[in-house]
Structure 1
Amino acid sequence: MHPIFQELTASVEFTHDLKRNVQLFLTTHHCSETADHCMDVGAEARRVAIRFGADPDAAETAGWLHDISAVIPNKDRIEAARQLQIEVLPEEEQFPMIIHQKLSKAMARDIFQITDQAILDAVGCHTTLRAGSTLLDQVLFVADKIAWDQTGVPPFQKELNDGLEQSLAHGAFAYIDYLWQRKETLKVVHPWLKDAHEELRLQLK
């Protein structure tokens, strides 16, 4: 295990219960709100998976794990990614919050021993989605937006729900297009989000 992860896990007593381990890991590092959000996203991902024919257990697992990198402070994420030999895109260097999806993927694999590549890949693109996204990618992406971690009603809720009435892909596109229409207000436009928007726009014509 990489020294970064050894340090993060030194004070955590893991069991064979993944859900409990994620909660314990996050709360030990004073990220209890993130722990609650991860549990909410896990539950929502299970519901979305059942609705659209994805693997509910895989979806729930991905939901629990998607934000575990919250334990790494934002200011340290780019350096951590480099030490872990994770590719850092210019947009991620400019706005380090976005690289948390890649860090969570690495942590799910190396700390929580997740070997299912579909789960790891979904965790790794849950904020931006990506071109060629899988059913599980889209399930987690949408579940994370439904189980919003901010106060109040999500401003994109109607568009997302209307999209989901057509299909999961329409729901995912509805959220991405909501951002796209406001891209001038975003700190950065991640290239994966741009690619996903273009691909889904053409697919769903």
Structure 2
Amino acid sequence: MQHSIFRLLTDHILFTGDLQQDIQSFLTANQCEDIAKHCMEVGNEAKRIALMFGADPGSAEIAGWLHDISAVYPNHERIEVAKQLQIEIYPEEEIFPMIIHQRLSKVMASEIFKIDDQEILDAIGCHTTLRSDATLLDQVLFVADKISWDQNGTPPYLEKLNCNLEVSLTHGAFAYVHFLWTQRENLKVIHPWLREAYEDLKGKVQLV
């Protein structure tokens, strides 16, 4: 059942059953047109990467479409929304609420868009930080989101990421995690999942 907190976001939308269209309508109706464009681009990129590395392209595309749907909540509202949804909140997320959007999107994908594939939901839920023992789909979405950057200009890590992607998906994911790790003194927080992902991926790429 959909949590009542979502009604203000959904009551004015006619859902058609066409998932891609409904996601775009939801984001556009809630003043997130740029996010809608970004989500569609990440969906396309995730599908491309999935085909490269043997992941399910349909699942990857859906995860990409949905990964940032929680952008409808501004940063200053996200912790309160998470509390109402009874999401366990890390201290780092209290300090830097932007980072909890991955976990809000996971709940919204399930409750608003009726996604019941746990692999898709889990990938959405860690697409910003990744996590230890990340699945194939986790890594596909993580890398796709970093390639389809939602900022201006070219990402400073992109060349290294694409180069590493020629070795393996895990190497590609590690390229971005390592980039963040080298910048960690300048980050507002280091999410525990990111720390765990760094240690996990570092060990895996050293084995190859």
TM-score (structure 2 length as normaliser): 0.98
The more displaced of 7-16 and 42-51 is 7-16
The more displaced of 61-70 and 151-160 is 151-160
**The residue matched to 1:75 in structure 2 has which SS?**
helix
Q: CA deviation at 1:127?
A: 0.2
Unmatched 5+ residue regions in structure 2? none
Match of 1:140 in 2: 141
Q: CA deviation at 1:162?
A: 1.2
Match of 2:180 in 1: 179
Match of 2:97 in 1: 96
* Partners of 2:15 and 2:173 in 1: CA distance: 34
* Partners of 1:13 and 1:168 in 2: CA distance: 38
AA matched with 2:17: H
AA matched with 2:71: A
For residues 115-165 of structure 1, the C-alpha deviation after alignment (integer angstroms, 9 at most, x for no partner) is: 000000000000000001000000000000000001111110111011101
Match of 2:86 in 1: 85
* Partners of 1:203 and 1:16 in 2: CA distance: 41
* Partners of 1:121 and 1:5 in 2: CA distance: 20
* Partners of 2:138 and 2:27 in 1: CA distance: 23
Q: CA deviation at 1:203?
A: 1.4
AA matched with 2:79: I
**The residue matched to 1:204 in structure 2 has which SS?**
helix
Instruction: State the superposition RMSD in angstroms.
Output: 0.5
Match of 1:20 in 2: 21
Unmatched 5+ residue regions in structure 1? none
Correspondence 1:46-65 to 2 at 5 A: 46-65=47-66
For residues 79-133 of structure 1, the C-alpha deviation after alignment (integer angstroms, 9 at most, x for no partner) is: 0001000110000000000000000000000000000000000000000000010
Q: How many percent identity over aligned positions? A: 62
Match of 2:39 in 1: 38
Q: CA deviation at 1:5?
A: 1.0
Q: CA deviation at 1:6?
A: 1.6
Match of 1:68 in 2: 69
* Partners of 2:5 and 2:177 in 1: CA distance: 33
The more displaced of 156-165 and 105-114 is 156-165
AA matched with 2:161: L
Match of 2:153 in 1: 152
TM-score (structure 1 length as normaliser): 0.99
1:195 and 2:196 are equivalent in the alignment: yes
Q: CA deviation at 1:73?
A: 1.4
Match of 2:109 in 1: 108
